[in-house]
């Protein structure tokens, strides 16, 4: 937290590198110069989107893993994410009932055809085998910042489905009819129940990853529908229900891969549905670990923003270790804790996605599981992946912060909610030399400027940054590194 006590003549530089530096801190001093001396210029008069926040998901697996640890280790993990001495997450995703990162499939109302949700209960979230509510309360009690919680459902109660199964399932009937109306009520009951537990929910997505995949390699809980079905659900059921019961909750559509974004617009193209929509949720799983240094669908985010400038874009899920080993560009499936190269590659992918999402109008980025064990679970479907923090589930006295954790911190620690992205452009003579560098800059509500620079290449680069005060900063960007520069306005 040394950046909090900077003088007006200096800037803080935090650096994480492939060769082992983790949040290395140093300072640099402003010097006089003119625009012709600048490689990059921050223009505080040209502003773009506002930050909602960054965070991770309170899955059953995360809570189970944390509560396997000794009490002092539990505290250290919660502090690592939420305390002033940690990276200070500001969003949290809460699953509505079970996901594959649970130990079994369950819902909050198993009573068949209980359309009035009279048997609805979140008691399972309070049990000693879950601890999900306990973990969320600990995060809220630990943080000094506002924590915007949003909720997502993987599947409805099984009795609402055509298949009598929640695996790649479909709802009975059509939006506007009995079961869809009951699903909207199910969501509303969840929001009310959590509010009554002292956990206010800021946002709600219509459904986690509703798009029907061309090829499904695995099966876990997923309600599938089209963008047109989502439009009708929002217009006829969910939108009116939220307006009546929870008018301040933000409704987020799609909640699926970025590659679907420009084809998933039905709810926004229909005025009756669009009146209820606040944002769009994006995932990164069609990036395929950026083969040949391409991918990310970043231009699609910009196009979407140009078409719907009043609809926020929020990264609602991402993780590493989701691709099988035989996929040529993959970092492999599951946890690779002992493989240094894979660990950094995964952090590299996080940095690339986050910084380019931000420069293309995303208002935040949410990781998947906060914590997993060294096998990448628990997961009832065997869908093991990676997480920024892993625990020693056997001994209960050790946890591991992976490079992904530190890369996330370069954004989450410094880009507080309400920060506004600024124009941050390269001089024409510097663009070629900085072709391996990505950058973004923000003004924070606390009166600071934050510039983040990510060097994908193997060469060190030195850049002069023209600050809004008309003075220059020299920053040395180490090879394969990410650096956050902070200074007072």
Residue 290 DSSP label: -
E strands within 131-290?
Answer: 148-153, 203-205, 250-257, 279-283
The catalytically annotated residue of 181, 230, 317, 320 is 317
Cα–Cα distance for residue pair 151/99, rounded to 1 Å: 12
What does the block give as tokens for 460?
């060190």
CA 264 to chain centroid, in Å, comes to 20
What does the block give as tokens for 430?
């510097």
**Residue 431 and residue 40 in contact, taking contact as beta carbons nearer than 8 Å:** no
Q: Are strands 461-466 and 448-455 parallel, antiparallel or unpaired?
A: unpaired
Tell me the residue length of the chain.
489
Can you state the angle between helices 340-358 and 403-412, rounded to 10 degrees? 20
**Residue 379 and residue 61 in contact, taking contact as beta carbons nearer than 8 Å:** yes
Cα–Cα distance for residue pair 218/216, rounded to 1 Å: 6
Helix (H) or strand (E) holding 363: strand 362-369
How many helices (H) and strands (E) the chain has is answered by 11, 20
The catalytically annotated residue of 181, 209, 320, 393 is 209
**Residue 147 and residue 88 in contact, taking contact as beta carbons nearer than 8 Å:** no
CB count in 10 Å sphere of residue 159: 17
**Residue 389 and residue 400 in contact, taking contact as beta carbons nearer than 8 Å:** yes
Q: Nearest-CA neighbor of 62 among 124, 122, 133, 123? A: 133
**Residue 49 and residue 312 in contact, taking contact as beta carbons nearer than 8 Å:** yes
E strands within 284-328?
Answer: 312-317
Burial of 76 (0-12, 13-18, 19+ CB in 10 A): middle
Torsion sign, CA atoms 289, 294, 296, 297: negative
**Residue 252 and residue 281 in contact, taking contact as beta carbons nearer than 8 Å:** yes
Cα–Cα distance for residue pair 94/3, rounded to 1 Å: 32
Is 209 among the residues known to form the active site? Answer: yes
Is 162 among the residues known to form the active site? Answer: no
Q: Please name every residue paired with 488 in a beta bridge, in sequence order, or none if there are none.
A: 448
Cα–Cα distance for residue pair 416/43, rounded to 1 Å: 19
CB count in 10 Å sphere of residue 371: 26
Catalytically annotated residues: 209, 317
């Amino acid at each position: 937290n040394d950046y909090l006590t900077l003088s007006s003549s200096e800037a803080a530089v935090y650096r994480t590198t492939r060769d082992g530096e983790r949040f290395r801190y140093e300072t640099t001093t402003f010097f006089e110069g003119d625009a012709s001396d600048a490689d990059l210029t921050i223009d505080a008069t040209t502003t773009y989107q506002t930050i909602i926040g960054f965070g991770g998901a309170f899955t059953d697996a995360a809570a189970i893993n944390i509560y396997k640890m000794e009490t002092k280790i539990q505290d250290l993990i919660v502090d690592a994410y939420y305390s002033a001495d940690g990276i200070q997450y500001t969003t949290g995703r809460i699953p509505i009932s079970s996901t594959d990162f649970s130990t079994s499939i369950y819902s909050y109302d198993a009573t068949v055809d209980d359309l009035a949700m009279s048997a609805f209960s979140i008691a399972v979230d309070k049990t000693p085998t879950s601890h999900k509510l306990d973990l969320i309360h600990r995060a809220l009690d630990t943080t000094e910042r506002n924590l915007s919680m949003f909720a997502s459902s993987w599947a409805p109660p099984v009795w609402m489905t055509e298949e009598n199964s929640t695996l790649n399932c479909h709802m009975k009937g059509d939006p506007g009819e009995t079961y869809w109306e009951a699903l909207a009520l199910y969501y509303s009951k969840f929001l009310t129940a959590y509010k009554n537990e002292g956990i206010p929910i800021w946002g709600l997505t219509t459904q986690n990853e509703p798009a029907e995949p061309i090829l499904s390699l695995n099966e876990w809980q997923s309600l599938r529908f089209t963008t047109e079905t989502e439009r009708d659900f929002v217009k006829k059921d969910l939108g009116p229900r939220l307006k009546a019961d929870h008018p301040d909750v933000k409704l987020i559509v799609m909640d699926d891969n970025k590659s679907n974004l420009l084809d998933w617009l039905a709810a926004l193209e229909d005025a009756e549905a669009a009146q209820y929509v606040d944002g769009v949720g994006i995932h990164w799983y069609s990036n395929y670990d950026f083969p040949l240094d391409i991918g990310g669908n970043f231009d699609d985010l910009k196009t979407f923003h140009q078409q719907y400038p009043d609809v926020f874009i929020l990264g609602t899920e991402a993780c590493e270790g989701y691709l099988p080993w035989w996929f040529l560009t993959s970092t492999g499936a599951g946890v690779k804790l002992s493989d240094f190269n894979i660990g950094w590659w995964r952090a590299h992918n996080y940095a690339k996605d986050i910084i380019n999402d931000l420069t293309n109008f995303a208002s935040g980025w949410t990781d998947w599981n906060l914590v997993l064990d060294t096998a990448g679970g628990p997961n009832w479907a065997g869908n093991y992946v990676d997480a920024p923090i892993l625990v020693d589930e056997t001994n209960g006295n050790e946890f591991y912060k992976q490079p992904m954790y530190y890369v996330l911190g370069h954004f989450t620690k410094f880009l507080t909610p309400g920060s506004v992205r600024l124009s941050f452009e390269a001089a024409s003579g510097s663009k070629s030399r900085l072709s391996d560098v990505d950058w973004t800059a923000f003004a924070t509500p606390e009166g600071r400027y934050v510039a983040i620079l990510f060097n994908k290449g193997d060469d060190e680069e030195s850049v002069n940054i023209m600050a809004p005060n008309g003075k220059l900063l020299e920053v040395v960007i180490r090879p394969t590194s990410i650096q956050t520069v902070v200074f007072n306005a």
